């Protein structure tokens, strides 16, 4: 009788333990979704601010149309990649947009009136703040993806993960070019 009670207690403990693992994996998966949604919110905010910046710049930068067009093209690429949910494509498009925004800010240095324009300063600060927030959210997202990817591969979590179809999530990676130091001199040649 005691042996049966012990076996039943062990069985119930094992079930509770497996439910805990399952719930933890579900929690991670949902945290990754929220982290990605937070990145998309910031991308949208930046997406909405860039046309205002371009319009402000157009007033002063009559001969820099190519620079402005490159920013808008890169902006469209980010929007398209984000709407597909392809993390790799978003990373590549983000890299291009950040490069073009940096080039735009560098070219703006040649226009003292533009640099002193209050709208430009506010938009530049807003976009810079959004860039920093996006970087922070990327870090949080990648931390959660990493935790998820580890959990679904370690024992005993792997047993639950395989049984219930938990899959690895994709890190938001950066290219070699994006993680290297920026050559400021080349930005000023734009």
Task: Please identify every stretch of the chain with a pLDDT value under 70, giving residue numbers as ranges.
Answer: 60-63, 174-190
Cβ atoms 151, 28 nearer than 8 A = yes
Burial of 172 (0-12, 13-18, 19+ CB in 10 A): buried
Cβ atoms 179, 98 nearer than 8 A = no
pLDDT at position 83 is 79
Backbone angles phi, psi at 147, to 5 degrees: -60, -45
Q: Give the domain CATH number at 117.
A: 1.20.1440.20
DSSP 109: T
Domain of residue 75 covers: 2-188
DSSP 61: -
Cα 188 from Cα 176, distance rounded (Å):
21
Q: State how far the alpha carbon of 163 is from the alpha carbons of 43, 55, 75, 115, 159, in Å.
A: 35, 54, 41, 59, 6
DSSP 169: P
Q: Which tokens hold the place of 148?
A: 């998820």
pLDDT at position 189 is 44
Predicted confidence (pLDDT) per residue in 37-93, tens digit: 888 888 888 888 888 888 777 776 665 777 778 888 888 888 888 878 778 888 888
**With pLDDT > 90 as the criterion, what percentage of the chain qualifies?**
34
- Number of domains comprising the chain: 1
pTM of the predicted model as reported, rounded to 2 decimal places: 0.69
């Amino acid at each position: 009788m005691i042996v049966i009670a012990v076996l039943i207690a062990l069985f119930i403990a094992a079930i509770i333990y497996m439910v805990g693992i399952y719930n933890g994996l579900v929690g991670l998966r949902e945290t990754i979704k929220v982290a990605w949604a937070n990145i998309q919110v910031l991308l949208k905010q930046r997406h909405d601010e860039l046309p205002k910046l371009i319009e402000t710049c157009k007033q002063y930068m009559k001969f820099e149309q190519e620079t402005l067009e490159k920013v808008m093209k890169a902006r469209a690429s980010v929007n398209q990649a984000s709407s597909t949910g392809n993390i790799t494509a978003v990373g590549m498009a983000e890299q291009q947009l950040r490069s073009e925004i940096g080039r735009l800010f560098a070219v703006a240095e040649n226009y003292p009136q533009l640099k002193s324009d209050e709208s430009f300063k506010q938009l530049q600060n807003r976009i810079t703040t959004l860039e920093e927030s996006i970087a922070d959210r990327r870090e949080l997202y990648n931390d959660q993806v990493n935790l998820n990817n580890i959990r679904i591969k370690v024992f005993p979590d792997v047993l639950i993960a395989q049984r219930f179809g938990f899959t690895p999530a994709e890190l938001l990676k950066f290219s070699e070019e994006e993680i290297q130091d920026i050559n400021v001199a080349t930005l000023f040649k734009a």
